[in-house]
Amino acid sequence: MRGFLASSIGVATAAVLALPLALPTPALAETAPATPAGSTQSLPLAPLGPSATRAPGVPGMSASAGRPETQGLTAREVKTFSLVGVVWDDAATELHGRVQVRTRSVRTATWSDWQDVETHNGEHAADPDAAERGSRPIRGATAPLWVGESDGVEIRVQAEPGAPTTRAPSRLPSGMRIELVDPGAETPATGSDGKNTGPEGDGKGEVVPAMSMSMAESSAANVPHASLGANEITALDKADSTADAVFASDGELTAAAAPYIGPRPRIVTRRGWGADEGLREPGFVYTSTVKAAFVHHSASGNNYACKDAPAVLRSLYRYHVVSNGWRDFGYNFAVDKCGTVYEGRAGGVSKAVLGAHTMGFNTNSMGVAVLGTFTSTAPPAVVVDSVARLTAWKLGLFGRDPRAKTTLTSGGGNRYPKGRNVSMNVISGHRDGFATQCPGAKLYSKLGTTRTASAKLQGRP
Per-residue pLDDT of 251-296, as tens digits, reads 677 766 678 999 999 999 999 999 999 999 999 999 999 999 999 9
The predicted pLDDT at position 126 comes to 66
Is 60 exceeded by the pLDDT of residue 214? Answer: yes
Contacts of 257 (CB under 8 A, 6+ apart): none
Q: Rounded to an integer, what distance in angstroms lies between the CA atom of residue 123 and that of residue 436?
A: 8
Strand ranges in 224-338 using DSSP code E only, listed in sequence order: 232-233, 267-268, 284-286, 292-297, 333-335
pLDDT of residue 122: 62
Asked if 316 contacts 141 with a C-beta cutoff of 8 angstroms, the reply is no
Do 301 and 19 touch, CB atoms closer than 8 A? Answer: no
- Position 415 pLDDT exceeds 60: yes
- pLDDT tens-digit series, residues 184-213: 987 644 445 554 433 333 434 444 567 899
Would the pLDDT of 157 be above 90? yes
* Residue 66, pLDDT score: 55
Choice among 47-61, 78-92, 152-166, 276-290 with the minimum mean pLDDT? 47-61
Question: Residue 123 has what pLDDT?
Answer: 59
| pLDDT tens per residue across span 225-244 | 999 999 999 999 999 998 88
223 pLDDT above the threshold of 70:
yes
The rounded mean pLDDT for the chain is 84
Q: Which of 156, 168, 154 is closest to 77 using CA atoms?
A: 154
The better pLDDT of the pair 135, 150 is held by 150
Q: Which residues, 6 or more positions from 107, have their beta carbon under 8 angstroms from its beta carbon? A: 148, 149
Secondary structure E strands in 68-142: 70-88, 97-105, 115-117, 140-141
pLDDT above 70 coverage of the chain, percent: 77
269 CB contacts (<8 Å, ≥6 apart)?
A: 194, 219, 222, 226, 230, 231, 232, 233, 343
Model pLDDT, residue 129: 66
E strands within 311-439?
Answer: 333-335, 341-343, 365-370, 405-409, 421-425, 427-429
Asked whether residue 135 carries a pLDDT value surpassing 90, the answer given is no
What is the torsional sign of CA 141, 354, 221, 384?
Answer: negative
pLDDT of residue 243: 85
pLDDT tens digits along 325-362:
999 999 999 999 999 999 999 999 999 999 999 988 99
Least confidently predicted of 79-93, 106-120, 246-260: 246-260
Least confidently predicted of 42-51, 117-126, 128-137: 128-137
Residue 124 and residue 459: Cα distance in Å, rounded?
Answer: 32
pLDDT value of position 79: 98
Mean pLDDT of 431-443: 92
Q: With CA atoms as reference, report the closest residue to 241 among 258, 227, 228.
A: 258
- From the list 185, 203, 162, 173, the residue with the least C-alpha distance to 25 is 203
Confidence band, pLDDT 50/70/90 cuts, at residue 148: very high
Q: What is the pLDDT of residue 392?
A: 97
Residue 413 pLDDT class (50, 70, 90 cuts): confident
Of 427, 432, 441, 440, nearest to 414 by C-alpha is: 432
**Per-residue confidence band for 30, with pLDDT thresholds at 50, 70 and 90:** very low
What is the C-alpha to C-alpha distance for residues 61 and 302, in angstroms, rounded to an integer? 24
| Contact indicator for 281, 298 with CB cutoff of 8 Å | no
Quick one: pLDDT at residue 203? 39
Give the per-residue pLDDT at 376: 96
Residue 352 CB neighbours (<10 A): 23
Model confidence at 181: pLDDT above 80: yes
pLDDT the model gives residue 359: 86
Cβ 325 vs Cβ 122: under 8 Å: no
365-387 burial, b at 16+ Cβ within 10 Å, e below that, comes to: bbbbbbbbbbeebebeeebbbbb
Confidence at residue 37, expressed as pLDDT on a 0 to 100 scale: 73
Q: What is the pLDDT of residue 259?
A: 85
Name the burial class of residue 102, with classes exposed (0-12), middle (13-18) and buried (19+) by CB atoms within 10 angstroms of its CB: buried
For the stretch 32-65, pLDDT in tens is 445 567 999 999 999 997 543 445 555 445 445 4
- The confidence band for 309, taking pLDDT boundaries of 50, 70 and 90, is very high
